[in-house]
Structure 1
Amino acid sequence: MHPTRLNAMAALVASLFPPMLAQAAPDSTAAEGNAAPDVVVISGSRIERPSFDLPAAINVLDAQHIREGQVRVNASEGLAAVPGVVVQNRQNYAQDLQISARGFGARSAFGVRGVRLITDGIPASMPDGQGQAATFNLDMAERIEVMRGPYSAIYGNHAGGVIQLFTRDGEGAPSVEASFSAGSDGLRKADVNAQGSAAGIGYVLDASRFDTDGYRDHSAARRDQAMAKLTMQPAPGAKLVLVANGLRQDDTQDPLGVTWTTWQRDPRAGEIDATDTQVPKRTLAERYNARKNIDHQQGGASWDQRFESGRLHVSLWGGNRRVTQFQAFSKGFQAPASHSGGVIDFDRDFYGSDINWQDMRELAGGRLTTTLGVEYGRSKDDRKGYENFIGNTFGVQGKLRRDEEDVVSNTDPYLQSEWQGERWQFTAGLRHSRMRVSVADHFPSNGNDSGALRYRRSTPLLGVLYKLSPDVNLYATAARGFEAPTLNELFYSGTGAGFNFQLRPARSTHFEAGIKARAGNTRIDAALFQVRTRDELVVDASSGGRTSYRNASETLRQGAELSLDSKLGAGFSTRVAATLLKATYEKPFGSVREGARLPGVPRASLFAELAWRSSGERFTAALESLSVAHVYAEDANADTPAPGYSIVNARVVAKQSIEKWHVSEFVRLNNLADRRYIGSVIVGDTNKRYYESAPGRNWVMGVSAQYQF
């Protein structure tokens, strides 16, 4: 980072809390009890510890923030309040959310890549790094931990950031709860859950159904989710957790992206298919009935056994994911023999394990904690491709064009050690990731794609934290990371060829320096960071839902993050999350000039919330604002970027308790000013159908009732 720019940002950060720095003398006697209450996290160190004492940028969303005044369908509802993270609801449940952390993951055409997803200790990301945030159960969420920067490297491949969801444990007297929400564009959600503890076994059960007609044309969806969790202590110092999750989506419509001209004409409209012979012409999504079916189940078990000087952790998981997707490819485009068709159909079995030993002992006047472990994962896809037409009928399964077995596995040993003294804390870690991809092509008539790839990379981590005073911590962290191509990025070469065996993993070097400070009921975290990446994976061609990739030049990400949480008194509180991020190509390639901005990455974003709670928290009201800078949709920055926008949302919540009943109601209004804006972009679409519109003014209201036995 340029010294002048670095000094300017450092001065800005320091100016935010001069009183705290002025009082931060080494002999400070400030009492811990006078500081803002801290939150305990597991991410990073794999043990429970205050986030204030972790040399990493990490934020926590508690159950109140996740549940209160929210429908709890998309992780984007709460994650907007986290700096450094951009989570876009694409208004397209066939393609999941767009999630990026410090720019990592922004180019994903669907699903989540570049950011590691974990739920209850079980990876929601596959061994290749691709994940689905739709599998998160937000109804039973206790908290979400979001970590960015170098510390994420200890989680290995595709860990540009780590998002961990933890669901609640069943405890206490049994209770049952039912809730219902309804809103604009046919939104409806019903949820029922039960929790409690009996005979030493805690249990949580939940089931929900979500329906929407969709804001955009051809974007209706239905999502059914279910989860079960059991917790028990089968032996002294032991804890066993069993968890199972299910997700089902049938005929989820895909509205696809649109051109700038179409979006300007009608934000809800789909792109017209110029080759359609009907009058009036249908949209591409309608003509091909673009849609996706998803059936996902997974389960896992974890055992934690505490000993006098350490802890053993063992977790096992497995599941199955079936997907059938009908894409909007024209008949003429499917002509090449090497093309695999417009219908994707795969059946995936996956499983894995994580075993680690954690040793804790006193050393040199401090405490040394060392974690040694190994993680293994494997997925096997039975993948087929078909034409999406029969004769002149489109959107139906036609002739077989692809038949193969794809296997991805990873084996990652890791070591992490942390020494904590009175004022200093030192952290070192090393993870060695080995990923193998093999393809067995059973349909060689369109070209034999059989083959194998192996990727290996060691990702070291170094961190230091200094306690300037009980209420001010300074830290610096450095690490190396890498992103191997996912299966979806390897499937296609250019616009029509087969498996891309030429892709290399992207390699990155991360630096971060930050400060964490508390004063009364205020907590401030600020960080400066820089990431240099070689062989960045970029979009080569994208059309109708199919995207191919290639390696590009060096990229540079520089930025600053700030989060502030404060209780102001009289029931008022505020939360601020601000991000500045300059993400550019450092070397030219093709038509991309040096200094061009990375697509899908806004230069700045700001979330601010002002909330009020009545005495006893019977009533809650809040105003939220979200501002995001403009976003380019392709590498050359030549086409019209999605303009920046600012929106304001409001929510009101009421709660009542009558004997054993606990009832709550909420009303939420989004985009109060009815701003017209583009919520997300499809990076690199060959036909320039980049833009995905966000809703104008919309509403949702809900009610829940819980009975405590």
Structure 2
Amino acid sequence: MPSMKINLLYGYIAMFMALGNTSVWAIEVDHDQPAQLPTIKVEATRTDTSYMETPASIFRVDMPESSQSAQVNLTEIVKGVPSIQLRNRENYAQDLQLSMRGFGARSTFGVRGIRLYVDGIPATMPDGQGQTSNVDLSSLSHLEVLTGPFSSLYGNSSGGAILATTREGTGKDSIEMSYAGGSHNKNRAGLILQGGSDHQYKPSYIISSSYFDTDGFRNHSGANKVLNNAKLTWNLDDGSKINWITNYVKINADDPQGLNRQQWQNNPRQVNDTNNTYNVRKDIDQTQTGITWSKPLNDQHELYGMAYFGNRQVTQYQSIPRSAQLNPNHAGGVIDFERNYYGADFRWTGKELLPNTRFSIGVAVDKMDEDRQGFENFNIVAGEPSYGVKGTLRRDEDNSLWNIDPYLQASWQFLPTWRLDTGVRYSNVHYKSKDHYLSNGNDSDKTEYDKILPSAALSWQILPELLPYVSYAKGFETPTFTEMAYQADSNKSGFNFDLKPSTSDNYELGLKSQNQLGDFTVAVFQSKTQNDIVSAGSSNGRSTFRNADRTLRKGAEFTWNKQVWKDLTVNASYAYLDATFDSNVPALGKIAEIPKGNAIPGIAKNQAFIGLAWKPDQGFYAGLDTQYMDKIYVDDSNSDAAASYTIASIYTGYAWKYADWGFNSFARVDNLFDKNYAGSVIVNDGNSRFFEPADGRNWSAGISVSKHFK
């Protein structure tokens, strides 16, 4: 796909004129009665507006009523969202690689720079590190993906936000059992119990439990995962609503690690270390619970509250050579930590206190306490080293961080078709580390970061089905504890508290339209970032980071979807993202200078998606989708790149309902044409092991049966 050469602003204006001159109609379902377009409420912006009234790039992804995949990874459901680049590492030890408009692409594992929420409960720590592993797709109702300036309303590390909402129990009590299998001995068994309530003190409920295991596409990439999710909902007579959510996830996963180019070309399925000397792996055990409460006091005032608590335990074995660990300042080859995290969010909303206005005032409080240790990944037995085991203690510290973020939002419809949405948040994060491993010195230290984040959006509702808008916000991202864990100089121990937070100025010009040609969104954007947090190299288990004076992200996004005939729908999207260093980054030790104009690694400049689906309420359904992803550079010097690729998936299934019974079966093939490509890259790996190969042609199939009880 050629790079975009046209002037983006001119392209936007041309699209605006074309849509503005198009007659806007309801979608016709027959020749006599036009059907009204659905009114879809969005929650991510907290403005109580419909999708067509929201001046932001926000995408809602609804889970299909009939399962079309094994429901294991988020990559199965967000393919067509243009602002997201979500990559499957085929490595369950390191989670998915998620970036939004280029934010978060530097992450070597987990999620950085993106805010994640499940039923209003944060899945992101106060410092911006998060994970997607606790999202239960089998009980999921929908996702909202918020990007652009409006996401700064969520404070630190909000280069974008993903809000997952699980279903609420409805109707009669029911049970659903499911099983899916596929390539590489993938197996997933699931059970869902659910039911509604007709009494205010009796909750509706949905309880979901699943077990997944696989041998893995690559050697030494097997994994198993237990995921349980429960949600109780009370709808009280005074209008109050209470949700209580509890989630548990346990993962045991082997880690095949990245490959260098020669290894990838020779055998993409191999483990990095042919002898698997260190038995690299990760064990995760996480439990969290939370409650949300909303209460309308009257027509003008409403209260909202949320509180949560969680515990996460991780043990990770790395392939760090014994020779590197002989450095007295090295933290060892086994990471072992236990983390407690908790917080709350309280908000008041007032409507019509002034004519045509809406105000929200709130405060979010989050805290994380972590007991972190490091051990050598070997023991000496009879004079010989035994690897891949927990050895001598090399790191022992208590880490804590917290924030108290007050925020204010206001919306004012100052003319019948014009609205101004504004917001401001004081974002602050406080770090503290208490060192208990003193043989290499006392590395205890603390620091704090803070920033005031204003935002504003102006929108014009030209027609109920046509909305242009313009928005601006200040962004803020602190380094995470993990990114500060090591000094860039390997001869020094302790945290790298010299890292600065990055700040950004974010601009967006957008258009939304619903007309007889379908639903359209167009957006052009630009983010200018100061002190961007970038990699300073990754070697021997130590990923280090530094600041780049300036980086620049600019691009355009387009989506279109339409019900073209009866139950036949089409969805298409395209995104262009030019992410570059906007100033020279000087050399640091063995790390070479990064010249201005180099591409930020891990980010594709072009991506496109088109999907065609036949989805009736019952009977046979089918779909075909194709995804294109441009090449991505593997390091700051742009010395190598994972090539562009185009892949296709196809699926079919049958859904049937009769009386109190329901039945669904599906079969699908992914990577239909067996493309050999890199699913993701490990950015700036010091050993040039950048590439994480994607699976070749692979299949999955499943069946589910449900029964409602009287």
Q: Tell me which interval the TM-score lies in, with the shorter structure as reference length.
A: over 0.9
Residue 422 of structure 1: how far off its partner (Å)? 2.1
Counterpart of 2:329 (choices 313, 326, 338) is 338
Report the counterpart of residue 275 of structure 1 in structure 2.
none
Unpaired segments ≥5 residues, structure 2: 29-33, 588-592
Instruction: Please give the per-residue CA displacement for 1:331-367, whole angstroms capped at 9, x wherever unaligned.
Output: 0011111111000000101100000000011644xx2
- Residue type at the aligned position of 2:464: P
* Alignment of 1:91 onto 2:107: no
Counterpart of 1:290 (choices 280, 288, 291) is 280
Q: Do 2:25 and 2:515's aligned partners in 1 also have CA atoms closer than 8 Å?
A: no
Aligned residue identity for 1:145: E
Which of the numbers 202, 205, 213 marks the counterpart of 1:203? 205
SS of equivalent to 1:454? strand
- Out of 223, 247, 268, which is 2:225 matched to? 223
Question: CA separation in 1, counterparts of 2:183 and 2:676?
Answer: 16
Look up the match of 2:471. 477
What letter is aligned with 2:176?
A: E
| Amino acid aligned to 1:209 | Y
The one-letter amino acid paired with 2:524 is L
Distance 1:520 1:369 in 2: 33
> Helix, strand or coil for the counterpart of 2:180?
strand
Per the TM alignment, residue 447 of structure 1 is displaced from its structure 2 partner at its CA by 2.7
Q: Give the alignment's Cα RMSD to 1 decimal.
A: 1.8
Distance in 2 between the 1:631 and 1:10 partners?
25
Report the equivalent of 1:661.
Answer: 661
Equivalent residue number for residue 672 of structure 1: 672
Residues 381-407 of structure 1 deviation map (CA, whole Å, 9 limit, x = unaligned): 011000000121100000000000000
- Answer yes or no: is 1:353 the counterpart of 2:348: no
- Please state whether the residue corresponding to 1:267 is helix, strand or coil: coil
Name the residue aligned to 1:691. Answer: 691
Letter of the 1:451 counterpart: D
Q: Structure 2 vs 1, CA of residues 30 and 90 (structure 1 numbering), >3 Å: closer, same or farther?
A: closer
C-alpha distance in structure 2 between counterparts of 1:667 and 1:98, whole Å: 26
Of the three residues 411, 436, 439, the one matched with 1:442 is 436
Number of equivalences: 684
Task: Return the offset for 1:107.
Answer: 0.6
Query: Which whole-Å CA distance do the structure 1 matches of 2:541 and 2:417 have between them?
Result: 53
**Does the 8 Å CA contact 2:121/2:290 hold for their aligned counterparts?**
yes
User: Do 2:26 and 2:516's aligned partners in 1 also have CA atoms closer than 8 Å?
Assistant: no
Structure-2 separation of matches of 1:209 and 1:136: 14
Name which of 245, 250, 256 aligns with 1:243: 245
Q: Does 1:126 align with 2:125?
A: yes
TM score, norm. by length of structure 2: 0.94
Distance 1:196 1:560 in 2: 44
Residue type at the aligned position of 2:386: T
Relative distance call for 1:479 and 1:6 in structure 2 (3 A) is: farther
1:521 CA displacement: 6.6
Aligned 8 A contact 1:297 1:321 in 2: yes
Distance 2:223 2:204 in 1: 33
Q: Aligned-pair distance for 1:317?
A: 0.2
Cα deviation for residue 116 of structure 1 reads: 0.4
The letter of the residue matching 2:378 is F
> How far apart, in 2, do the equivalents of 1:320 and 1:528 lie?
40
Cα distance in structure 2, aligned partners of 1:314 and 1:697: 47
Amino acid paired to 2:224: R
- Compute the displacement of 1:16 (Å): 4.9
**Is the contact made by 1:423 and 1:467 (CA closer than 8 Å) also made in structure 2?**
yes
Which residue of the partner structure matches residue 279 of structure 1?
none
Q: Is the 8 A contact 2:574 2:609 kept in 1?
A: yes
Cα distance per residue 1:69-101 (max 9 Å; x no partner):
121111111111101110011101111011100
Matches within 5 A, 1:142-221: 142-198=141-197, 199=199, 200-221=202-223
Q: Please state whether the residue corresponding to 2:138 is helix, strand or coil.
A: coil
Are positions 1:312 and 2:308 aligned together? no
The answer to whether the Cα contact below 8 Å between 1:181 and 1:702 also exists between their aligned partners in 2 is yes
C-alpha distance in 1 between matches for 2:447 and 2:365: 17
Match of 1:460 in 2: 454
- Distance, in Å, in 2 between the alignment partners of 1:16 and 1:61 is 24
Q: What's the CA shift for 1:34? A: 6.0
The amino acid of 1:99's aligned partner reads L
* Range with greater deviation from structure 2 (689-698 or 465-474): 465-474
| 496, 499, 523: which one aligns with 1:500 | 496
Match of 1:572 in 2: 568
Matches within 5 A, 1:527-542: 527-542=523-538
In 2 relative to 1, CA 89–425 (structure 1 residues): closer, same or farther, beyond 3 Å? same
1:422-468 Cα deviation digits (max 9, x unpaired) = 20010110000111000000011123210101000111001100012
Equivalent position of 1:322 in the other structure: 313
| 1:546 to partner: Cα distance | 3.1
Within 2, Cα distance between the matches of 1:79 and 1:100? 12
Question: 1:627 and 1:544, CA in 2 relative to 1: closer, same or farther beyond 3 A?
Answer: farther
Q: In structure 1, what residue type is equivalent to 2:111?
A: V
Asked whether the equivalents of residues 341 and 402 of structure 1 are also in contact (C-alpha less than 8 Å), the reply is yes
48-57 or 288-297, which moves further after superposition?
48-57
Q: Is the 8 A contact 1:647 1:671 kept in 2?
A: yes
Residue 268 (structure 2) aligns with: 267
2:420 corresponds in structure 1 to 426
* CA deviation after TM superposition for structure 1 residue 494, in Å: 2.0
The alignment partner of 2:230 has SS state of strand
Q: Is the 1:262–1:270 Cα contact (8 Å) retained in structure 2? A: no
Shift of the 650–13 alpha-carbon distance from structure 1 to 2, 3 Å rule, reads farther
Aligned to 2:625: 624
Q: Secondary structure at the match of 1:468?
A: coil
Of 407, 418, 430, which residue of structure 2 is paired with 1:414?
407
Q: Aligned to 1:370, which of 359, 365, 387?
A: 359
1:551 matches 2:552? no
Code of the aligned partner of 1:536: D
The alignment partner of 1:553 has SS state of: strand
- TM-fit CA distance, 1:10: 3.5
Determine helix, strand or coil for the equivalent of 2:263: helix
TM-score (norm 1): 0.94
Aligned equivalents of 1:16, 1:191: Cα separation in 2: 46
SS of 1:133's partner is coil
Q: Does residue 612 of structure 1 match 2:607? A: no
The question of whether the paired residues in 2 share the 8 Å contact of 1:256 and 1:545 is answered with: no
1:446 & 1:208 partners in 2: Cα distance? 45
Alignment correspondent of 1:256:
257
Matched with 1:515 is 511
Give 1:3-42 correspondences, 5 Å limit: 8-16=7-15, 20-23=19-22, 36-42=37-43
Structure 1 residues 6 and 257: alpha-carbon distance in aligned structure 2, compared to 1, 3 A threshold: closer
1:13 Cα shift? 3.9
Aligned letter for 2:474?
R
Q: Judging changes above 3 Å, is the alpha-carbon distance between structure 1 residues 423 and 34 closer, same or farther for their aligned structure 2 residues?
A: farther
- Match for residue 596 of structure 1 among 598, 603, 606: 598
User: CA offsets per residue over residues 666-698 of structure 1, 9 Å max, x none?
Assistant: 001001111110010000100010000001100
The unaligned stretches of length 5 or more in structure 1 are 273-281
Q: Percent identity?
A: 37
- Taking the aligned partners of 1:707 and 1:191, their CA distance within structure 2 comes to 14
For the residues of structure 1 that align with 2:181 and 2:448, how far apart are their CA atoms? 49
Q: Output the amino acid matched with 1:626.
A: Q
Say if 1:29 and 1:141 are closer, same or farther in 2 by CA, change over 3 A: closer
Structure 1 residue 545, shift from structure 2 partner: 4.4
CA contact (8 A) 1:35 1:471 kept: no
Worse-matched range after superposition: 89-98 or 544-553: 544-553
Q: CA deviation at 1:659?
A: 2.6
| Residue 31 (structure 1) shift | 11
